[in-house]
Amino acid sequence: MIIPHWNGIEVLSECLDSLKQSTYPNIEIVIADNASSDGSQDWIKKHHPDVILVENDQNYGYAGGCNRGAKNASGDFILFLNNDTIQNSNWLEPLISRLESDPTIAAVQPKIRNYYQRDLFDYAGGAGGEMDILCFPFARGRVFHHQEVDTNQYDNPKPIFWSSGTAFIVKRELFRKAGGFDETFFAHMEEIDLCWRFQLMGYSIWFEPQSLVFHKNAVTLPAQSVMKYYLNHRNSLLMLLSNYSLPMALYLFPIRFGLEWVAFLFSLVHRDWNHMIGILKALTWILFHPRVILRKRKENRKIRVKKDQSITQNIYQGSIVIAFYLLGKKTYRDIASSPRT
């Protein structure tokens, strides 16, 4: 189990105390500390000497921290877990059972509900990640900032497009073959990118409702910070340009580029300066880093066994921006049943 960490001893302490209540008998905990400045390292050594502590020399973000933590893990399965979570005591058994049930399953996500309002699906993952054709991610139970109350409406195990980095388990060997997390992403959507690569390799991602995790959300990076807006927009564009075939990427990018400017103008009208700056930074990065995109495309060609046509069957073919903002579709079920816009 890999827990990336950067400051926040109280948050991490609650997570570790919760993990001690887990009923699964064989848990190895690796904390990848991204150069915390609050004394987290000494606190972990003193209060949790049984934990494997990886002390990174700088903040490598979620992606880099998890990669470095995974190198120190010894199990056949690796579970990536946010430090701002608590878990039901029997949460691990269903995840492992689902992962072992089919050799074509690469990763499994639990149900993720909000820590503060326990019956509400959490923003980061809900009941499994989905994506539209233009690389706007959403989830069963959460579309943009609209979160649903969990009334067991999504309590069916099923394939999903991506598993949330808040908590998900992968097969160690497949994680290695996929190349791990792309550290260019730093944080946000690196798990979506990884799951996309798993699917390029011919594997599936699943949601397991019998496993339950509660998440505080946006503890490390504030939801409306420039950095968060920048990473979300940049990383989504990076996936579109890197993971689709070249004809598909060239077809979709102008549409997505236009929507970026719609979002910019919307933010201008509402004087959301942080969002505006985040979008401009994202577009600037994409413009000046073609080599990064070409490198990523080259690496994906080496592992690809499935074509876009097969993978896009698992993607919502319309635009959730149009479905949500123009058609008033606020839930996953509404969007899944709406016209392909």
**Mean pLDDT of each 10-residue bin along the chain, 341 residues long:** 97 97 96 97 98 98 98 96 97 98 98 97 96 97 96 97 98 98 97 98 98 86 86 98 98 97 95 97 98 98 96 93 92 79 42
Sequence letter at residue 162 = W
Residue 234: count of CB within 10 angstroms of its CB:
24
In whole angstroms, what is the distance from residue 174 CA to residue 155 CA? 27
Q: For position 224, what pLDDT does the model report?
A: 82
**Residue 107 near residue 198 (C-beta atoms within 8 A):** yes
Is the whole model's pTM more than 0.85, yes or no?
yes
User: Which domains are present in the chain?
Assistant: 2-215 (3.90.550.10)
282-304 in b/e form (b: 16+ CB < 10 A) is: bbebbeeeeebbeebbeebeeeb
3-state secondary structure of 148: coil
Q: How far is CA 76 from CA 89, 140, 169, 334, in A?
A: 21, 29, 11, 39
Q: For position 341, what pLDDT does the model report?
A: 42
Hunting for tokens 């880099």 — which residue is that?
64
Which tokens in the block code for residue 295? Answer: 């490198």
Q: For position 337, what pLDDT does the model report?
A: 78
Strand partners, 278: none
In whole angstroms, what is the distance from residue 88 CA to residue 18 CA? 8
In whole angstroms, what is the distance from residue 285 CA to residue 14 CA? 37
Q: How far is CA 40 from CA 8, 33, 35, 69, 84, in A?
A: 7, 8, 9, 16, 14
Contacts of 261 (CB under 8 A, 6+ apart): none
The dihedral over CA atoms of 24, 159, 299, 2, expressed in degrees to the nearest 10, equals -20
The dihedral over CA atoms of 178, 184, 187, 190, expressed in degrees to the nearest 10, equals -30
**DSSP secondary structure string for all residues of 273-332:** HHHHHHHHHHHHHHHH-HHHHHHHHHHHHHH--S-HHHHGGGSBSS-HHIIIIIS---SH
Sequence letter at residue 340 = R
